[in-house]
Amino acid sequence: MPVKSGQVRTQSRFQPDPDKINEEKEEKQKQQDETKKYIWKPKEGENKVRIVPYRHAKYNNSIIQVYFHYNVGTQSVMCPKYNVGKKCPICDYIEDKLSVRVPRDEYFLLTRIRAKKRYFSPLVDRAEEDPTVRFWGYPERVYDQLEAYSRDPDYKTMFYPLNGRDITVTYAPPSENAKKDGNWGSTQLVPRGKETELFTGKTIDEIDDFLEANVPNLLNLGLFQILEYEVIENIFNRFMEGEDESDAEKGGNKENSKEETRGERAVEKKKVDGDNIESDVKNDTGSSKEEDFEKDFENLFESGEDE
């Protein structure tokens, strides 16, 4: 029965179809479960792992850098610009805003939504009887250790399948009161003294076949997707429409003053650099707060259905 729009008491801008929503939820859940199978996290204490080459990058590199826009509504968005060099509506927005001096609170928002770098490495957990390749997503402090080892001539073959090294990852989780006591936990990496093969008793070809068949392409894992420009634009517009309210809530955040100072400085720098926003963003993303990392990473796999 057709109804006149004036008679309908609308609770939202669109009327969702409950069946369709459930279907989509289930589909999303399935996708998330599937993706989670490929995620590795250290357990508390000692973990023994072997990082392997990632075969789907331009360079056969074991350390993959992925740029995300976090905090843009109910989902994290992979940045097309910094990941694959395509146009990104969120970066366009930030760039446009930064072409003139912006007020502090606006700069706070821009720093929250700018593209942030995350690191992933494919690895095999030595504790698993039946080895599978999974991805470890880790923060800057872990990246720094891996990067230092891979520059060291003695360790530079560390990720190689034939003469690489296992790594002992000693992990202490953050305390429950981390925000108060400042104990954000720690992750220490120590490569094994001896070079070993990825699998003993296997031929080079067999190891190669294993890697070929078992190292997934991150972009094929469902949630690690570069969305179309228009799709990101829609997500971003919806987020910006509701931003006034959420910003008021977050206004009291104690991080504000720090962010503001940094923001001011970056704006000054921006003026000097002209259009070179890339250097700003890269410098800033490099120093992302590691306490946010776990949450950010979890957010990648959240459906966002609370909103």
Q: Which residues sit at the interface with Zn ion, rule CB under 5 A?
A: 79, 81, 88, 90-91, 115
CA–CA gap between residue 79 and residue 139 (Å, rounded): 18
Q: How far is the CB of 230 from Zn ion (least distance, A)?
A: 14
CB nearer to Zn ion: give 90 or 211: 90
- DSSP-derived pairing of the beta strands 134-138 and 39-40: parallel
Are the CB atoms for 191 and 155 separated by under 8 Å? yes
Q: How far is the CB of 244 from Zn ion (least distance, A)?
A: 22
CA–CA gap between residue 97 and residue 107 (Å, rounded): 9
CB nearer to Zn ion: give 38 or 93: 93
113 token code pair: 């939504």
Q: How far is the CB of 278 from Zn ion (least distance, A)?
A: 11
Q: How far is the CB of 81 from Zn ion (least distance, A)?
A: 4
Task: Give the Å distances, CA to CA, from 255 to 58, 106, 267, 269, 285.
Answer: 38, 14, 18, 21, 17
The secondary element (H helix, E strand) that includes residue 178 is helix 178-181
CB nearer to Zn ion: give 88 or 211: 88
CA–CA gap between residue 66 and residue 79 (Å, rounded): 8
CB nearer to Zn ion: give 91 or 146: 91
Are the CB atoms for 136 and 121 separated by under 8 Å? yes
CB nearer to Zn ion: give 92 or 197: 92
Q: How far is the CB of 79 from Zn ion (least distance, A)?
A: 3
The secondary element (H helix, E strand) that includes residue 172 is strand 167-172
Q: How far is the CB of 69 from Zn ion (least distance, A)?
A: 6
Amino acid at 17: D
Token pair 């006034």 in the structure block, residue: 244
Q: How far is the CB of 91 from Zn ion (least distance, A)?
A: 3
CB nearer to Zn ion: give 88 or 167: 88
273 token code pair: 């650099």
Amino acid at 135: F
CB nearer to Zn ion: give 49 or 79: 79
CA–CA gap between residue 14 and residue 230 (Å, rounded): 19
